[in-house]
Structure 1
Amino acid sequence: MKVSIIAALGKNNEIGKDNDLIWHLPKDMKFFTETTTGHYVIMGRKNYESIPEKYRPLKNRVNVIVTRQKDYKAENCVVVSSVEEGIELARFEGETECFIIGGGQIYKHAIEADLIDRMYLTHISEGFEADTHFPEFDPEGWFCKGLMSHKKDEKNPYDFVIDQYDRKR
């Protein structure tokens, strides 16, 4: 089973502010939805709670929430106490590729603990004010291939590219 990260980053690795997204890019959101549908998505509790209620849990996916809160409940979601436990659950259930979808602390732990095989990173051409950033990683340890390039248009206010990074093993 592949363990993948999927994230969108501003040009200074920013990913969020006040527990929310800092841009609206429907074309990137469509890529996220198409890529993760039918799979396990692993996220931190605050990330889950930042999803607008009408979209929770993310449909057609197994939503796995990582939290230290022993009594945390979220309807139609699986609650675990660690990223590793979420990955093991997905593996046990026969998943082929599970996705870590945030937030910042979850991404940082997954990269530092060497849990990741692949990353799908949307690189937005602008910088934003943020309080949460994607962790630094050594690009030398990864093969990178471009998946999509999109110029800003009436619906997507920023240029962006989506790259796939596969770990060199």
Structure 2
Amino acid sequence: MIWAEANGGAIGRSGTMPWHLPEDLAHFKRTTWGAPVIMGRRTWESLPNSFRPLPGRTNVVITSDAHYEAQGATTVTTLDEAISLTQNLARDAQTVAEEPRVSEAGAETVAAETRPRRAAWVMGGGQLYRAAMPIADELVVTRIDIDVDDADTYAPEIGSEWVLAERGSQEQSKTGLGYVFERWVRN
């Protein structure tokens, strides 16, 4: 699972992220590139139209409305369906090339280095994070030094079954916000 949270665990306010942190958006893209992303309907709808579906990833939207259409994404009605679908996709391609990059000459290239393909990344929202927490094996969390007093969506609690595997250094965004990247693994 992957998310960014403010002080106190806030992840959303009125269907939006209550901050702008370009470095976290780039981190999210690097981390999830090439792997399916699973999200709830409200998270899907919170993405700007120009970013739906998220490029370079199979987008899976969970909704209780079996007739809901998410153009460019696959819709399912349960987390179990989403997991089953993404496990099948992961078996079909065991590795993923890094995100295409543009060379100085302007030609798009793909890095030769590959990394293991994740079965999927759960990317929100709060209700889906809580439902997926018992089956997740890795958490990638961006901690942002900002208070969001009117938040209405919160990250799940990271319990004692998780171990902090990596913690980046405290960084400062070009927007002025302080942040740090963390990676947690199941104990």
Q: Answer whether TM exceeds 0.5 for this pair.
A: yes
Q: In terms of Rg, which structure is larger? A: 2
Aligned to 1:119: 139
Residue 150 (structure 1) shift = 4.1
Deviates more, 1:78-87 or 1:144-153: 144-153
Q: Which amino acid aligns with 1:70?
A: A
TM-score (norm 1): 0.90
Q: Any runs of at least 4 consecutive aligned residues in structure 1 with deviations exceeding 3 A, and if so which?
A: none
Residue 145 (structure 1) shift = 2.6
Residue 103 (structure 1) shift = 0.4
Aligned runs of 1:38-77 on 2, under 5 Å?
A: 38-77=34-73
| Kept in 1: contact 2:137–2:185 (CA 8 A) | yes
Aligned runs of 1:1-169 on 2, under 5 Å?
A: 5-94=1-90, 96-97=117-118, 98-111=120-133, 114-129=134-149, 130-138=151-159, 140-153=160-173, 155-168=174-187
What is the Cα-based RMSD across aligned positions, in Å?
A: 1.3
TM-score (norm 2): 0.82
DSSP-derived class of the 1:146 partner: strand
Q: Which amino acid aligns with 2:179?
A: F
Segments of 5+ residues of structure 2 without an aligned counterpart are 92-116
**Alpha-carbon distance between aligned partners in 1 of 2:167 and 2:33, rounded to the nearest angstrom:** 18
Q: Which has the higher contact order (CA 8 A, sep 6+)?
A: 1
**Alpha-carbon distance between aligned partners in 1 of 2:124 and 2:67, rounded to the nearest angstrom:** 21
| Kept in 1: contact 2:33–2:56 (CA 8 A) | yes
| Kept in 1: contact 2:126–2:156 (CA 8 A) | yes
Equivalent pairs: percent with the same residue? 33
Segments of 5+ residues of structure 1 without an aligned counterpart are none
